[in-house]
Amino acid sequence: MSSTMISSHIPDLDLITSYAQREGTFFSRVSPWTKFTGLLLVILLITLTRNLVICGVLYLIILGLYASAGLPVKKLFAWYTLPVLFVISLVGIMVWTEPGTPLFSLNMGLFALTLTDNGLILIITLLLKALISVTYSLFFLMTTRYQHFSAMIYRIFPSPLDQIFLLAYRYLFLTLSMTGAIFKAVRSRGGGIIHSVRVQGRIFAEVFALVFIRSFDRAERVHQAMIARGYNGKYEAGTDMPKPGLSGFCVIGAFVCAIALIVLMVPNTGGLY
Amino acid sequence: MAHIHLEDGSFSLFFVLLWWTAAIILVGIAIYLMRSEKKPDRRKITLAAFCTAAAFAIFQVSLPIFGGVHLNLTPLIGILAGPAAGSLVVLIINILSAAIGHGGWGLIGANTLVNIVEVFVGYSCFRLLKTTIPDLFPRAGIATIAGLFCGNIAMILIIIISGVQGVNQSTGQILTGLSLLAAVNMGVAVVEAFITGLIVAYIGKVRPDLLGDELL
């Protein structure tokens, strides 16, 4: 567990950055713009399709990409906890009232909960879509250098949004580490033991308030230091980034054609409205 | 951040684009307001950045209350950063969260709209109640409940209007499911109101300058 890791089900930003900076595989040398366009196209495809087979195949392709980039697959499965819980928390409620052929029924006394084939397909499809999205996102994060991300943020977002984003991204690691350290201190003094809601609430409120106050203190110190070094309100991140080459354009073009073909030819696709 | 608990592919393309456009317009207004300040305060940018980092870090912490909940903190962001910077902060947190699977990329627009409602209502209530309730603890608690309640309504409206791809249920059936989720969210909102009240009271005691004269 690294210093920035608050909970084991949340992707570890230290580990993600470590893989990103290592640049060990072919994918690390692919233009960040190509990978970013790939992300947009993946999101477009899973938005347009409701076909379980398409979602399954796309998931396996992206999982294959992730594994072939030498990224930690076991960790990835642990990090799936959050998106899976996310889907289950809402769709898990809706799934019981979905019309279709009943598969399983649960008698609750006053009413019965029935799981149908359509309900099951719905939850599996949405789970696959969630896993596709998070796997590709992590693949993108773990194969793209920090400087390239900063340069992308600087070029995509207008000021002052880019400035807040760049500074926040820069100090996220410090803040996560500080929060982790405060929680370790609280736990070592018995703060992890279950108390009443009131006591527990007060302990956590004080920790959170401390995180905010320390963050603001640090913000002021950093601001003064930046002014002393000539900061004029503009934090520039103009790192040169590799542009998508011919092969990059070919991959993007092929992906666009595949999406067009899928939309036109495969049933349960074309969710424009 | 209160989130629409759905991932990518849940909304159709039309609604993904619709909510993204609405969020971009609101964020655009916030950027315009920040840029058009007569005396731009550069310190505000640094503070907003640290507010983003702190809120994102706390957002990842699961509290051992009621079996484990995580806080939204959007009303607190509104109180500390103000509605304009707060709107930018919630957009960035939604982007960072989507990157690690806490919400989808396509849902960032809808989630940002919900969060902007929470930031705006939280800030406005906290400011409007200044003379009626001078004590920071109850004022921040009420502002938080109000913010999260309105956020919940925004969330339900967005899901009802958009529908979920693959769900073939009537609006009434969807509403029943969402009401259950909204009830749980409001239970968490009460915990959050208590915690936000304590945080604001603590900040008011230790660093009152962070709240500024207009809010104290």
- Does pLDDT of B40 surpass 80? no
Task: Specify the higher pLDDT residue, A269 or A24.
Answer: A24
Kindly determine whether residue B99 and residue A141, on different chains, have CB atoms separated by under 8 Å. Answer: yes
Give the mutation candidate from B63, B100, B162 for the A interface (greatest A CB count, under 10 A): B100
pLDDT tens-digit readout, B111-128: 999 999 999 999 999 999
Kindly determine whether residue A161 and residue B198, on different chains, have CB atoms separated by under 8 Å. Answer: no
Measured distance CA(B204)–CA(B190) in Å, rounded: 21
pTM for this predicted structure? 0.88
Provide mean pLDDT across the span B43-58: 82
pLDDT at A51: 86
pLDDT range class, residue A213, cuts 50, 70, 90:
confident
Q: Tell me if chain A has a CB within 8 Å of the CB of B136.
A: no
pLDDT at A273: 55
Q: Tell me if chain A has a CB within 8 Å of the CB of B174.
A: yes
Residues 6+ apart with CB under 8 A from B116: B23, B26, B27, B86, B87, B90
Residue of B nearest to A224 (CA): B43
Query: Tokens 């002052």 sit at which residue?
Result: A160
Which domains are seen in chain B, by residue range?
13-210 (1.10.1760.20)
Closest Cα to residue A157, out of A237, A75, A73?
A237
- Does pLDDT of A193 surpass 60? no
- Does pLDDT of B151 surpass 80? yes
Kindly determine whether residue B169 and residue A208, on different chains, have CB atoms separated by under 8 Å. Answer: no
pLDDT range class, residue A72, cuts 50, 70, 90:
very high
Number of Cβ atoms within 10 Å of the Cβ of B75: 34
pLDDT at B216: 73
- The structural domains of chain A, with segments of one domain joined by +, span 24-144+243-273
pLDDT at A2: 56
Give the mutation candidate from B46, B71, B175 for the A interface (greatest A CB count, under 10 A): B46
Q: Kindly give the residue spans of alpha helices, DSSP state H, lying in B36-170.
A: 42-59, 74-99, 108-128, 136-162
Q: Tell me if chain A has a CB within 8 Å of the CB of B205.
A: no
Phi and psi, residue B166, nearest 5°? 95, -10
Query: Which CA distances in Å does A256 have to A37, A164, B8?
Result: 10, 33, 18
* HEC profile of B6-63: CCCCCCCHHHHHHHHHHHHHHHHHHHHHHHCCCCCCHHHHHHHHHHHHHHHHHHCCCE
- Does pLDDT of B65 surpass 60? no
